[in-house]
């Protein structure tokens, strides 16, 4: 099994609506995003997926969140903008953005800080 991963980032603010504590107040993060794709074989050029394709697709997805107040950006205007939900939304959006290559997407991790991350994985059933 092969795995490739890219790392990128964006900055945004959010507040957790259904939370009792510091994070219910407006605050921001420099989010680090790890995107992993897996395949049992390589394709054209001996690659699982072209890093450039993966980077461009990821940039297209996260650009709508960069330097924004996430609570005002769909779907976070109706769901909590937690790291867990951000990871799932980025995963699902990236899967669509990649088209046929989206089937290789394995996981998206969202780091809120150097020591805290949430990861969304592809369901074992696909």
Given a contact cutoff of 8 angstroms between Cβ atoms, the answer to whether 23 and 15 are in contact is yes
Q: Is residue 39 part of a domain?
A: yes
| pLDDT of 124 | 64
Nearest residue to 34 via CA among 70, 82, 87: 87
Name the helix (H) or strand (E) containing 51.
Answer: helix 51-62
Which residue stretches of the chain have pLDDT < 70? 124-126
Find the angle CA(111)-CA(113)-CA(117) to the nearest 5 degrees.
35
Q: Is residue 126 part of a domain?
A: no
| pLDDT of 95 | 95
Range of the domain at 85: 2-121
CATH number of the domain that 26 lies in?
A: 3.30.479.10
Per the structure, the count of domains in the chain is 1
Q: Is residue 6 part of a domain?
A: yes
């Amino acid at each position: 099994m092969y795995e490739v991963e890219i790392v990128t980032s964006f900055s945004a603010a959010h507040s957790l609506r259904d939370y009792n504590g510091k994070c219910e107040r407006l605050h921001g993060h420099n989010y680090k995003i790890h995107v992993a794709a897996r395949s049992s074989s390589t394709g054209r050029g001996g690659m699982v997926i072209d890093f450039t394709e993966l980077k461009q697709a990821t940039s297209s997805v996260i650009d709508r969140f960069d330097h924004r107040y996430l609570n005002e950006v769909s779907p976070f205007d109706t769901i909590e903008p937690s790291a867990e939900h951000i990871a799932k939304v980025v995963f699902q959006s990236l899967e669509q953005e990649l088209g046929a290559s989206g089937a290789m997407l394995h996981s998206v991790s969202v780091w809120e800080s150097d020591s805290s991350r949430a990861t969304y994985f592809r369901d074992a059933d696909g």
